[in-house]
Amino acid sequence: MKNNNSLFTWVVVIAAIAVLTVIAVFSKGKAPETITDTGSLKIGDAAPSFNLPSATGSQVSLDQYDAKPVLLYFNEGVGCQPCWKQIIDLEKNTGFTFYKIPIVAIAPNSTSDWRPIINSNPMETPILADTDNSVSKSYGALEMKSSMHGGMSPGHTFILLDSEHKVSWIGDYPGMNMLASEIISVIKDKFGDKPS
């Protein structure tokens, strides 16, 4: 009987450790693999230009950010709450705002689809409607591991452009959640300790 109790105790302990490990992984997000290309773009390539409507009604182009680094965030859009919560988390992070690097979110939904979310969750980040996925495709964001829809929409991919709008870093997050501190660490590594 004693052996059975010991065995049961060990099974419970191992199961608890497994559950805690899974919770820890998903609460912190899955760190991206080292990515040197998206299939369409590699580190050092010039970023394709774009001009898309934003959820607030204006047109936004890459040229508007001339001579400034830009963080592009390709995501699933309105049906993915972690995707747009990610934008809010970044905007609130003082370490991220210190660098003054604009975020531009690109998703497959229409501007009208986004309006209720923005009304309930105010965001300053331009959210661009790439309804035909042409921009996401040109950046290779449809083929990343985080895309759960077989090339039909992006998943959770960040592409950091330098001030000349060349690809400086690519981060893909299949866990649909990344810590702002991870992005800050990348920005600090690429651009030093001074704001852009």
What's the pTM? 0.82
* Cα distance between residue 61 and residue 178, in whole Å: 26
Instruction: Tell me the torsion sign for CA atoms 187, 157, 91, 52.
Output: positive
Sheet of 103-107: strands edge to edge? Answer: 127-129, 103-107, 70-75, 156-161, 167-172
Q: Are 84 and 121 in contact (CB under 8 A)?
A: yes
> Who wins on pLDDT, 21 or 89?
89
Per-residue pLDDT averaged across 87-105, rounded?
A: 90
Short-list 151, 68, 144, CA closest to 104: 68
H-only helix segments in 47-172: 81-92, 94-99, 111-120, 134-138
Q: What is the pLDDT of residue 109?
A: 95
Mean pLDDT across the chain? 84
Would you tell me how many other CB atoms lie within 10 Å of the CB of residue 46? Answer: 11
The length of the chain in residues reads 196
The pLDDT of residue 96: 83
Q: Are 146 and 120 in contact (CB under 8 A)?
A: no
Least confident of 25-29, 134-138, 168-172: 25-29
The Cα–Cα gap between 79 and 160 comes to 24
pLDDT per residue as tens digits for the range 141-193: 999 999 887 788 999 999 999 999 999 999 999 887 778 888 888 988 988 87
- Asked if residue 127 lies in contact with residue 105, where contact means CB atoms within 8 angstroms, the answer is yes
Q: How far, rounded to the nearest angstrom, does the alpha carbon of residue 14 sit from its chain's CA centroid?
A: 33
